[in-house]
Amino acid sequence: MVDRKERGEGEVPAPPWRRSRKPPQPRRQLSQDLIIDTGLRILDAEGFDALSMRRVAQELDTGPASLYAHVAGKEELLELIYDRVLGEIRLPERDPARWKEQLRAYAMEAHRVLGAHADVARAALATIPTGENSIRAGEFLFGLLIEAGMAPREASVAMDRLSLYIVGDAYEASLHYARMRAAGMDDPEAYFRSFVGQIAGYYRAIPPERFPYVVKHVDDLIADDGEQRFRYGLDLILDGIEARMPRDP
């Protein structure tokens, strides 16, 4: 069956069972890095729910199957994206004398980075920290606590709890972010006000004889924003760690 292409009059179409010899495709060059970048871009721009293997593939002008040569699956992709974001965390030289200050600075920096890539936190909690940057952060925290005088075994748990707090808070924040997006808004400020208003209205409507404190202090329940809450909880934890440092005061 010869198919003559290009302006031959009365061109006979190739029979359907004869698969066309493929138009000259340039064959995109994929790589794990490229896939991670693309995934992160989608995550930032459209949110966690929009991130799918198909969506990534589409962005790269290919089919979903092509990704599997570079990435084991969606879960691994999420872990890789997470570790890439962790790489944005800047770590100072360790200075054990100022351990508390440095621990706070680390937490705020991590909080900032996870906030900048809001939905990455949704991938974070699902992950066991085995990436390069994850270990890098772990070494920093672990080393800092040990050098400050804490026993390694205790330092391990303290580091773990601090990390859980940071990621847990970021996760919660990302859910609000998702709700905002779902509501079609894009100004966090406006969303915060509308959300807080809704909650306040709801709380004010519940029976005060059963839940007197909640109803009475609605305004206090919604007073602080995410940033202030994060700092408060962070200080709780840091003070607790300080109290456990040997020979501190």
Partner DNA sequence: GTGCTTAACGAACGGCGTTCGTTACGAACA
Partner DNA sequence: TGTTCGTAACGAACGCCGTTCGTTAAGCAC
C-beta of 49 vs 248, nearer to DNA: 49
d(CA 157, CA 90): 23
Q: Which of 44, 64, 87, 88: binder of DNA (CB under 7 A)?
A: 64
Comparing CA positions, the residue from 96, 111, 200, 223 lying closest to residue 148 is 96
**Measured at the alpha carbon of residue 171, what is the angle toward residues 155 and 90, in degrees to the nearest 5?**
55
Q: Which of 3, 12, 33, 63: binder of DNA (CB under 7 A)?
A: 63
Half-sphere exposure of 126 (CA within 13 A, CB side): 15
Q: For residue 228, give the H/E element and its range.
A: helix 226-244
6-45 residues in contact with DNA (CB under 7 A) are 19, 21-22, 24-25, 27-30
Answer with the entry of its own copies, DNA, none that 217 interacts with (C-beta below 5 to 8 A by kind).
its own copies
Answer with the entry of DNA, its own copies, none that 19 interacts with (C-beta below 5 to 8 A by kind).
DNA
Q: For residue 190, give the H/E element and its range.
A: helix 188-204
Q: Are 15 and 1 in contact (CB under 8 A)?
A: yes
For the chain, the distance separating the N- and C-terminal CA atoms, rounded to the nearest angstrom, is: 91
Q: What is the DSSP string of 14-65?
A: PPTTS-------------HHHHHHHHHHHHHHH-GGG--HHHHHHHTTS-GG
208-227 residues in contact with its own copies (CB under 8 A) are 210-214, 217, 220-221, 223-224
183-212 residues in contact with its own copies (CB under 8 A) are 199, 202-203, 206, 210-212
193-222 residues in contact with DNA (CB under 7 A) are none
C-beta of 50 vs 116, nearer to DNA: 50
Tell me the site size for DNA, rule CB under 7 A: 27
Q: Which of 40, 107, 155, 180: binder of its own copies (CB under 8 A)?
A: 155
What are residue 208's phi and psi, to 5 degrees?
-70, -20
* Positions in the binding site for its own copies (CB under 8 A): 125-126, 128, 130, 135-136, 138-139, 142-143, 146, 152-158, 160-161, 164-165, 167-169, 171-172, 175, 199, 202-203, 206, 210-214, 217, 220-221, 223-224, 228-229, 232-233, 235-241, 243-244
